[in-house]
Structure 1
């Protein structure tokens, strides 16, 4: 039987204290009061942890949904901008390689302005969004200029031609070696020292002439109107996720409040990202991608995109795509995350408090019964003492029997009370243990998250890939067309007819810099007339992964490496494609599981172990074929891929 301190005699309580004791009578028992306080604190702790957990999970869910919107907007804006820049680059390259323009700028004679004007006019009439086409000599003088205004093309007379030697874009463009195309930043078009009204957001793209090309030395330059693109980008904004664009200096090019745009051109220095959100500006100066970070109360996602090469800046000219969700909306998200947790905590406190109150009342009832039993025992002992005195002369056996019966009854009562107390005390201990386990699991869950190293590796590989693509796109016209086919193939999910040799050639052109740097030679034995029906983008990606795998792993410590592509068809109308290299082969411990995910021999160098796994998935699932690896007797590694020459949409 549990022991409690006996109630001390106190003056009767009155007023509020009396009412409190009538509801919580166990408060008058010190032992129960201490136990009740401990259990109440435990209940409050459970309610707090539950509320915090619900708040955290709901908030992360809301933020995840917002981040998905951010990623979609930034990806769409990046695609729009990249496509527009590609069109501009193609226009400049076409002008540069045009036969009539070459004749008009022939270095063996004077400049033929009539031919240039006629050809510039023809281009201007056939192109959208072009504001100006002009050629400037090395002193910055406009020698021929065509202006486009509302679909009308006008050649400026000599009296209206200007000298642009002082403009930044002329100085920077004259430092770029052809055939690279120069891109300026985005700013407002200025004529005769004044900003053109209405505003004309302009990108200038140009290429130098007269450098080993038989043309007169100067600069072929176009002014490209970005109004339509900026309006398309503005339409990407959603109600709570606004798209903003800042230039290299942090001035707004696109902003929900139009009056804050073009602060640099209009002399409004306060409309600058470095002034309005210094923390975000510092972050963007250090890293290229921000995904779902809370800065100044706003949820921010951002990406830096390079417009083009400018040696005066010693780097690419950047613009910053930013998607922000306002602090007001984030406050609303926080409240929507908090109130379910508060409601849960209230329910836990109310239900748990009632159960606790009921349990303490039961314990108090048992306490009163124990006190009553104790008093009855004491009275019984007094009576027994008197009986012992009065019946001392009775039989000793009878006295022992009476005493034995008393002790037996007392033992049963003690056992019953102990059993009654064991259930709530054991439940409390079990609840405490369960709470500790849940807290431990929660702590581990919070500490365990997305690896930062994995994200950093992805960003690094993405940047390197973009840089290679940017460099390759600046090649000659035939390379631009090759890359365009490659991009269309990669982006398209349609089944089309294509030549396997052309896909290989396009891929090798895009990887030429990497292959040259690594000293690897690729030899292709594929017939020109071998035509397939399927997914050229997938075939290109498979070959790219195998090439990169060979360069990174097979030729890591070698020079003079060689990769061979061989393709032929069999009687079943299947393509047998073999990709072989003379590298170091594959380690024996991973040879049998090289197509498994996350298997790599260069994890310390940043390899993820997914390259060959993806190749296997593409071959088997999309091409409906098979792939196996072989180790030739002469060394190296060979992949044999077999798939149908015609892949149906079914």
Structure 2
């Protein structure tokens, strides 16, 4: 009996060692993959910060480049009003370090500075400098008129010397041309220190930014940032003792591990190439290995006391439960990612919707200020301006209401008009499409036009409207990206058709574009999760659309490719039941 027990104990111990090894390998790889996913999310946050900075500053530059008073300085040399305009802008935007107007020969005409102590002053004429030899001036002068340019992330230079303590700055500029044909350059210097602090305060990871030669621009330890300009220069390869670091980063377009603690990826910041590197928190790795050690001790001790076969049963049960739980978690994560992507798309739509009314309000206020300075501000102009401002504010309020209604959690089945539902989404999304010169057509087929589509009862269905909105948004986004990828899209290729068909028991919505279609070699895989043919795609859109269609809407979703007059296109057909009883 003792021999049998000993044999079972030995078998159980060997099996436990094997199981522990396999579990340790799996847990380590899974942990590293999860950490890579977390890093990817932080990287997307940084890219959003960069995009927000670009949109905000380009709007400011464009406003100044079209201002008649700014342009008149080049012809008439009158600077008083423009100086005060520059002064007001610097007061209103705390990130502006310097706002300048330069002549075509590089001489500063107007300059307003924000000092490090917060004081703001207009620089007198005898202190203005010539910047004709500075690289950013030459770059901006070579731009086409009214095209916004961005300098590399750099340090501020005054009188030919780098300012100390280091003052990180970014220059945004454009070449302008007056009605008299004279040229100049508008340059905005931005304080980047607070922006950099936001990037270096990421949870669980340390963020580094490298230039093309591998010198640090951003380092969590401030005394190691801008390592090119330190008394003793050093690169990231020298600091981390990774001689092939830059070669590894330059050869990859996706996030890649460069060792057990560092992951890196190329990143474009305002048309300039840099390299982002993320370092794992040491405590994060310590917890991972500590959990493995604790598991090893408990597993060995338990298997010494209990027979091997019982342990095997428990291990199998454990793995099955973990697998089921992981499957449920993955489903939840996929749905959450899809919701976040939809929110991102709609936030982009809101940004486009708001840009024009905000610019209009700014111009109205500018006209009022101009009239006041010229003693021509009468009651009629004031009342008209007030009415126009309130009209723009009402438009902004309506846009927010529409956005809030789009994301209202609605899990109940209710009656909706498909034509109205689709046009609600297009109302928010249309500015993004127009910005890319994309036209949309909503076509209703098979119904007489004796009743307006908005009030036609044949277009009404009992369904889940929030789910349909999200699916429509997925297809609009996919078609937009496909059309944008065509270098010179013609009128046919720059069009999206949405066709609605109804029958007694079902309704269908077809999404059609002529942007080249999907290659036959991959069209059978397009509904698989995480499968994508786009460089920045997540591979979740079509999978989520199919899942929601089958599981929630109790409908079907199919893809068809077609050729039309020499064009190849894509057609996705969403078919859903029309009556309440068909949705359980």
CA contact (8 A) 1:50 1:341 kept: no
- 1:541-552 alignment runs, 5 A limit: 541-546=474-479
Match for residue 254 of structure 1?
218
Match for residue 565 of structure 1?
497
Aligned with 2:109 (options 143, 158, 161): 143
Match for residue 279 of structure 2?
324
**Aligned residues between the structures:** 457
Shift in Å, 1:273: 4.8
Q: Distance in 1 between matches of 2:179 and 2:144?
A: 12
- 1:157-176 alignment runs, 5 A limit: 157-176=124-143
Match for residue 153 of structure 1?
120
In the TM superposition, what whole-angstrom CA distance separates every residue of 1:262-287 from its partner, at most 9, and x where no partner exists?
A: 22233441254565343433222222
CA contact (8 A) 1:74 1:322 kept: no
Matched, 1:286 2:248: no
CA contact (8 A) 2:265 2:275 kept: yes
CA contact (8 A) 1:182 1:205 kept: yes
Question: Residue 134 of structure 1: SS of its match in structure 2?
Answer: strand
Shift in Å, 1:202: 0.8
Shift in Å, 1:351: 7.3
Match for residue 508 of structure 1?
433
Match for residue 170 of structure 2?
203
Question: Residue 255 of structure 2: SS of its match in structure 1?
Answer: strand
Q: Distance in 1 between matches of 2:474 and 2:213?
A: 37
Match for residue 337 of structure 1?
292
Q: Distance in 1 between matches of 2:168 and 2:133?
A: 20
Call closer, same or farther: CA 1:92–1:267 in 2, change over 3 Å. farther
Match for residue 53 of structure 1?
22
Match for residue 103 of structure 1?
72
Match for residue 100 of structure 2?
134
Matched, 1:301 2:263: yes
Question: Residue 278 of structure 1: SS of its match in structure 2?
Answer: coil
Q: Distance in 1 between matches of 2:472 and 2:180?
A: 40
CA contact (8 A) 1:561 1:582 kept: yes
CA contact (8 A) 1:252 1:263 kept: yes
Greater RCO (Cα-Cα under 8 Å, separation 6 or more): 1
CA contact (8 A) 2:497 2:513 kept: no
Shift in Å, 1:183: 1.4
Call closer, same or farther: CA 1:625–1:543 in 2, change over 3 Å. farther
Match for residue 224 of structure 1?
190
CA contact (8 A) 1:630 1:639 kept: yes
Question: Residue 288 of structure 1: SS of its match in structure 2?
Answer: coil
Shift in Å, 1:317: 1.0
CA contact (8 A) 2:267 2:273 kept: yes
CA contact (8 A) 1:47 1:349 kept: no
CA contact (8 A) 2:558 2:573 kept: yes
Shift in Å, 1:143: 1.9
Question: Residue 269 of structure 1: SS of its match in structure 2?
Answer: coil
Q: Distance in 2 between matches of 1:43 and 1:93?
A: 74
Q: Distance in 1 between matches of 2:166 and 2:37?
A: 33
CA contact (8 A) 1:73 1:243 kept: no
Matched, 1:121 2:123: no
Q: Distance in 2 between matches of 1:119 and 1:237?
A: 40
Q: Distance in 2 between matches of 1:39 and 1:133?
A: 81
In the TM superposition, what whole-angstrom CA distance separates every residue of 1:490-541 from its partner, at most 9, and x where no partner exists?
A: 99963599865554642433544xx7xxxxxx464699x989x979886444
Q: Distance in 1 between matches of 2:539 and 2:555?
A: 22
More divergent stretch after superposition (77-86 vs 123-132): 77-86
Shift in Å, 1:205: 0.8
Question: Residue 152 of structure 2: SS of its match in structure 1?
Answer: coil
Aligned with 2:527 (options 578, 583, 597): 597
Shift in Å, 1:144: 1.5
Unaligned 5+ runs, structure 1: 1-23, 27-35, 309-315, 356-426, 428-433, 439-444, 446-469, 516-521, 645-650
CA contact (8 A) 2:175 2:185 kept: yes
Unaligned 5+ runs, structure 2: 317-322, 324-347, 360-395, 410-420, 445-452, 456-464, 578-584
In the TM superposition, what whole-angstrom CA distance separates every residue of 1:562-593 from its partner, at most 9, and x where no partner exists?
A: 745368999xxxx9976556799999999xx9
Question: Residue 289 of structure 1: SS of its match in structure 2?
Answer: coil
Shift in Å, 1:242: 1.9
Q: Distance in 2 between matches of 1:83 and 1:320?
A: 19
In the TM superposition, what whole-angstrom CA distance separates every residue of 1:432-462 from its partner, at most 9, and x where no partner exists?
A: xx9xxx9xxxxxx9xxxxxxxxxxxxxxxxx
Matched, 1:194 2:119: no
CA contact (8 A) 1:619 1:625 kept: yes
In the TM superposition, what whole-angstrom CA distance separates every residue of 1:234-291 from its partner, at most 9, and x where no partner exists?
A: 33244xx222233444333332322111222334412545653434332222223325
Match for residue 92 of structure 1?
61
Q: Distance in 1 between matches of 2:243 and 2:82?
A: 48
CA contact (8 A) 1:304 1:318 kept: yes
Match for residue 415 of structure 2?
none
CA contact (8 A) 1:141 1:161 kept: yes
In the TM superposition, what whole-angstrom CA distance separates every residue of 1:339-374 from its partner, at most 9, and x where no partner exists?
A: 63366457667978xx9xxxxxxxxxxxxxxxxxxx
